[in-house]
Amino acid sequence: MDEKKKPSFFKRVFALKDIHLPPIHLRFPNWKTPEINLRMPSFGGWQPPNLKIASVRGMTITGGVWKVGTLGVGIGLLVTGFAIGTSVVFTRAAPHFPEPAQYQVAAVAPDQTLKVGEDWEFEDTTPADVRETQVNTLQLNMSGARAADITMSDLEIGKADLGQVAAIQVVGSLANNSAFYLECDEIIIQNVEAKTLNLANSEIYTLNILNNVSDGISIGPTLNSAVLDITVTSTRGSVKVPAVTTGSFDKIIIDTQTASSQCKTLTISNVSAFGSGIDLDHIKAGTLTISGSKIGSGSGINSPDFVIANTTKIQVLNATGNTEAPVSVK
């Protein structure tokens, strides 16, 4: 076929004459709401006007296909915009360890790694300062979990207005004559600085208090032959908790108030707790060593800031190289 004749051929074969579409008439079925007449009661001789809901007769749309189509597109855009405007919810990605948040250790499968936490939630009446402190808190909710090593090192934490609230807390509980403890093979607290350090309601087989400087120290545990030497030799089936070596926190809390929990080694080292102290409560350990630390609020040695309470039961005590001095940690 001659190349020059192709266009005219296709034009003859496929050319379409002008097509005129007839007007499209859309008529919605008429509907009518029942007319309601409400006669209002009179008051002191005054008669309020009656209420009447008028009927709605329906609606007719006329016009060509372009008019009807344009109207349809417009209505569609309005509906879509309304749906988006009323249904979009702005979400924040779940915090990843060790970002400030609360982490449910017991919810992690055995032999897996703790990764994702939960943001703090508050009542509308929660004061702003409490919210601010809480959202900057890292909390491990152990709740009966079995963890491998828990390590917190090289951190600067705390807040000026924490007051009597400790910047680092290990918290158990005594409820219905059942005590819940954090049970560890070994606990190491080394080279920390804090206004106070308190150990209470605990059972430690071997307690080592070595080479600390404090603004008053009181070591008064109770010797008790029933204290057990907690031993955790295997980490099989335990949750892996990544070491916390970076981050900014007002508080760090290890909470085991709902059930006793276990770990192989808990280490808190090279930590400066600005504005507050360290509270260790309801711990059971084979060995607990507190060494090379500086503790003091500047209240004087007659008001000890480093306290091992008599509610702490032990089998063996090694306390050497400790010095009292006018220390004030700022």
Cα 246 from Cα 249, distance rounded (Å)? 10
Per-residue confidence (pLDDT) for residue 93, from 0 to 100:
80
The two tokens of residue 209 are 């208090």
Q: Please report where in the chains the tokens 């828990």 appear, as a residue.
A: 150
Per-residue confidence (pLDDT) for residue 209, from 0 to 100:
98
The two tokens of residue 304 are 């000890």
Cα 59 from Cα 123, distance rounded (Å)? 49
Helix (H) or strand (E) holding 283: strand 283-291
Per-residue confidence (pLDDT) for residue 42, from 0 to 100:
58
Which residue ranges in the chain fall short of pLDDT 50?
9-10, 13-14, 31, 56, 58, 86-90
Q: State whether the Cα torsion 249-251-256-261 is positive or negative.
A: positive
Q: Please report where in the chains the tokens 């709605």 appear, as a residue.
A: 56
In this structure, are residues 254 and 138 in contact, taking their beta carbons and an 8 Å threshold? Answer: no
First and final CA of the chain: distance in angstroms? 97
Per-residue confidence (pLDDT) for residue 231, from 0 to 100:
94
pTM of the model: 0.71
Instruction: Give residue-wise pLDDT tens across range 222-264.
Output: 999 999 999 998 889 999 999 999 888 999 999 999 999 999 9
Cα 16 from Cα 316, distance rounded (Å)? 104
Q: Is the peptide bond between 98 and the residue preceding it cis, with omega within 30 degrees of 0? A: yes
In this structure, are residues 119 and 101 in contact, taking their beta carbons and an 8 Å threshold? Answer: yes
Per-residue confidence (pLDDT) for residue 88, from 0 to 100:
44
How, if at all, do strands 278-281 and 168-171 pair? parallel
Per-residue confidence (pLDDT) for residue 322, from 0 to 100:
97
In this structure, are residues 292 and 194 in contact, taking their beta carbons and an 8 Å threshold? Answer: no
Q: Domain residues of the chain, as ranges? A: 22-87, 101-324
* Cα–chain center distance at 80: 35
Per-residue confidence (pLDDT) for residue 87, from 0 to 100:
47
Which residue from 198, 202, 209, 222 is spatially nearest to 283, judged by alpha carbons?
A: 202
| Ordered alpha helix ranges (H), the chain | 6-14, 65-87, 128-135
DSSP 137: E
* Cα–chain center distance at 42: 60
How far from 106 is each of 171, 205, 222, 239, 255, CA to CA, in Å? 16, 26, 32, 8, 11
The two tokens of residue 194 are 């804090």
Cα 239 from Cα 146, distance rounded (Å)? 6
